[in-house]
Amino acid sequence: MGADRAGLDRALRRFTVPFGRSNVVVAGVDGSESALRAVRWAAEEAVRQGAELRLVHAELPLPAGVPDLRGSARRALHDESTGWMHDAVVTAKEIAPRLEIQARVEVNTAARFLEQESETVSLVAVGPRGIGGFSGLRLGSVAVALSERSRCPVAIVKGEQPVPDAPVVVGVHGTPANWFVVDRAFDEAAVRGTSLVAVHAWIPPLGTEEVAAAVGIGWSELDAARASVVAQRLASCADRHPDVPVERHVVHGSPAHQLVKFAEHAALLVVGSYGDDRLGGTGLGSTSHAVVQHAPSSVLLIRPGLAGQIENAGRTA
């Protein structure tokens, strides 16, 4: 445990804002109310984290083959973009009048622009759907693409403002990559002055407790073992935030279903993305994909890019 803690401390001191990144929170702007909610959230988060705020908008490229000899189409699109950006800056200033705000408009696709931004900043926030999004869809194409390819944490900002003092919820398990996720959840609870709800969900074997007991498998013993792992994981991060109250839950069922359930009354749900990234890929795991699609609260998705450094630091402690 001591080696784990020492390794985590070294990794977090070095990589909380990784080398080559700026302490900047980015929000995507597209003229929609969904995006303005993301701007409000990002402004509050920038204040909480002592960061700068950058608002970015990808101005639509002209379709191939469309003539624009006098530049009128380009000017119209730029005027529209400028108006949207003005509204976003005003919105951010209403939330945080003293916040330093940058504004960038670039002819690009939204997903590519935000992915490029994610390479050098500390956080990117977007709404679940932009202009033209279908109300029946849980998540728009830009949010999906960014969730799968961002190189920094991504906030999918959903719904209205959470109830004051609503907790931060985090999914907990025992892998090294989960260290950074849990520690970030503690950070988010601390800056909000709220509690942390730690959820570990698993699917017990053999369908029912009675059937399992008939072959000598006790669910209560398995629950206790998993609760011990959860306690160790939380203890490895809690000493950095002794004032954050923590609730621990070991529950039965699909991790995605349980996290979505606990998120119903949360200020924020913090989850990691562990899918193909364990093998160097960029896709989401099944749990994180389901959570970002269906959670009613805003979701902070932590990419596992630091997992290797954290794990290696723990091994050499």
Q: What is the mean pLDDT of residues 198-206?
A: 81
With 60 as the cut, is the pLDDT of residue 169 above it?
yes
Q: Which of 242-246, 276-280, 301-305 has the lowest mean pLDDT?
A: 276-280
Q: What is the mean pLDDT of residues 154-168?
A: 84
With 70 as the cut, is the pLDDT of residue 182 above it?
yes
Please give the backbone phi and psi of residue 125, each rounded to the nearest 5 degrees, phi first: -120, 135
How many other CB atoms are there within 10 angstroms of residue 177's CB atom?
21
pLDDT at position 217: 67
SS3 of residue 54 by DSSP: strand
For the packed helices 255-262 and 286-294, what is the interaxial angle rounded to 10 degrees?
30
Dihedral (Cα; 6, 8, 14, 16), 10-degree rounding: -150
Beta strands at 123-126 and 101-107: parallel, antiparallel or unpaired? unpaired
Higher pLDDT: 13 or 164? It is 164
pLDDT tens digit string along 33-51?
999 999 999 999 999 889 9
Q: Which of 12-26, 101-115, 265-279 has the lowest mean pLDDT?
A: 12-26
pLDDT tens digit string along 287-302?
888 888 889 999 999 8
Which residues have a Cβ under 8 Å from the Cβ of 150 and sit 6 or more positions away?
114, 115, 118, 124, 301, 303
In which residue are the tokens 């509690």 written?
195
**What global pTM score does this model have?**
0.80
